[in-house]
Homo-oligomer: A and B are copies of this chain.
Amino acid sequence: MSTTVLYMSMSVDGFIAGPNAGPGNGLGDGGERLHDWIGQGDIEAAAPRLDDADRSVIDDFMSTGAVIAGRGTFEPAGGWQGDHHDGVPIFIVSRHEPPAEFAGYPNVTYLSDLTDAVRRARDAAGDKGVLVHGAWIAQRMLRAGLLDEIQLHLVPVLLGEGRRLFEHLGADHIELEPIAVQPGHEVAHLRYRVRR
């Protein structure tokens, strides 16, 4: 079965966005700092300063076969213009219908049920992985036992304030199994399997 993998850039103090994140300010105030290592998403521009560990992680998430996210991640990011990478299917978990500006994207499917959305994403990915993105969906998938792996790009900064990746998980411990701990050029790459 396809593996669901959360890929997130996170500060050492646990934030994945600065304060006041929302529509038009997807990464929050100052949150773009977290994407410096990857050239704010312009991977070609960042390429000269990436090292092998960085490239390996980027290749890994660029070779996933489907994407799943919440609307709070997808919509402020302009719906990735309908294509996160290589035209793979994108599944958005939301109780709402897609806004008109995103309703015409052929690769994008809005679904209200998390379990259904994860199953659809796994099916679409086939023998590739499913890229999971965003704090809200990560928390829901962790609580539901639907997240298989976590790949953190740990950025050497303390943001101080903003949106945390790990919250609202309850007091039961979730054990992780380290798969890889690697320094990158401006970031550390930490990969864990979620034990169940």
Q: Which A positions have Cβ atoms within 8 angstroms of B?
A: 12-14, 18-19, 29-30, 33, 142, 150, 152, 154, 156-161, 164-166, 169-178, 180-183, 188, 190, 192
Contact A170 B176 (CB under 8 A): no
Contact B188 A190 (CB under 8 A): yes
B19, B150, B159, B178: which contacts A188 (Cβ < 8 A)? Answer: B178
> Known contacts A13-B169, A160-B171; can you find 6 more A-B pairs with CB under 8 A?
A12-B152, A18-B171, A154-B190, A157-B174, A158-B176, A159-B173
Contact A172 B160 (CB under 8 A): yes
Residue of B nearest to A193 (CB): B156
With a cutoff of 8 Å between Cβ atoms, the chain B residues found around residue A166 in the complex are 12-14, 158
Contact A177 B158 (CB under 8 A): no
Please list the 6 inter-chain residue pairs (A to B) with the smallest Cβ-Cβ separation, ordered nearest first. A13-B166, A181-B183, A156-B176, A160-B169, A158-B174, A14-B14
